[in-house]
Structure 1
């Protein structure tokens, strides 16, 4: 890839495609999110931003998958602070494109702040390749509940 153009939607798409080409078996998930373990006795995982089916931008999923060495299949992966910091740093240049919003960056940064303020909490990355796939974890179940119309079967 010659020059990376972070300033346009087309440039972000090209970057997404370039990164995706480097992931063996990559398959864009229909939904994905970074979640936080419950802060109280509630069993529900917290997702500051959910990338639901039909979303337009796949760059955040590819960035996470690249860092976590994941192929986009349905799964819940532990997300350490260093990996999340790397994901934020990798996606941050996308802010140069002011034609689109960047809710994943905001969500990931809020998760980092929460992890710093409450080290007992854990972060995960949840990928759902197909809503018909079996639920991979409690976090996955919480994500699917957050997606309008999806009712997970445990």
Structure 2
């Protein structure tokens, strides 16, 4: 992928498409996020950044799916610190494009830091292919609850 351009929005779109073509059965999720298990008495999962329906951050979904060997279907997947660090490393070249923000990269770094500082916490990757799909976990329900006008059934 060294010939692909990480410095422009069009280049990032081409990289997204290149990676997506390598995932059998890939379909872009309508929403995705990386969440942390509750740190206190709160039962809610914590999501430093949620890619809600209508978002524009398809490259992060493909990078995360590539690391996890996932096809973008609705699922909640365990995410080790090493897997998340690999996703961060894979997405870091996108910083060369200063025309767009990189909220997933920032959020994923915060999750890695939290996992380092509190080994009792766990991370999950949540993908939602279709909002009508059943909720797959408490983490999924917590993420979907952040969508405006959407109240998931658990």
Matched with 2:108 is 108
Cα root mean square deviation, aligned: 0.9
Matched with 1:89 is 89
Matched with 1:17 is 17
Q: Report the Cα distance in structure 2 between the residues aligned to 1:90 and 1:64, rounded to whole angstroms.
A: 9
Matched with 2:117 is 117
Q: Counterparts of 1:16-55 in structure 2 under 5 Å? A: 16-55=16-55
Matched with 2:68 is 68
Q: Report the Cα distance in structure 1 between the residues aligned to 2:81 and 2:69, rounded to whole angstroms.
A: 16
Aligned length: 154
Q: TM-score, normalised by structure 1?
A: 0.98
Matched with 1:79 is 79
Q: Secondary structure at the match of 2:145?
A: helix
Q: Report the Cα distance in structure 2 between the residues aligned to 1:4 and 1:149, rounded to whole angstroms.
A: 38
Matched with 1:152 is 152
Q: Report the Cα distance in structure 2 between the residues aligned to 1:20 and 1:149, rounded to whole angstroms.
A: 30
Runs ≥4 residues deviating over 3 A: none
Q: Secondary structure at the match of 1:106?
A: helix
Q: Secondary structure at the match of 1:16?
A: helix
Q: Secondary structure at the match of 1:113?
A: helix
What 5-or-longer segments of structure 1 have no aligned partner?
A: none
Q: TM-score, normalised by structure 2?
A: 0.98
What 5-or-longer segments of structure 2 have no aligned partner?
A: none
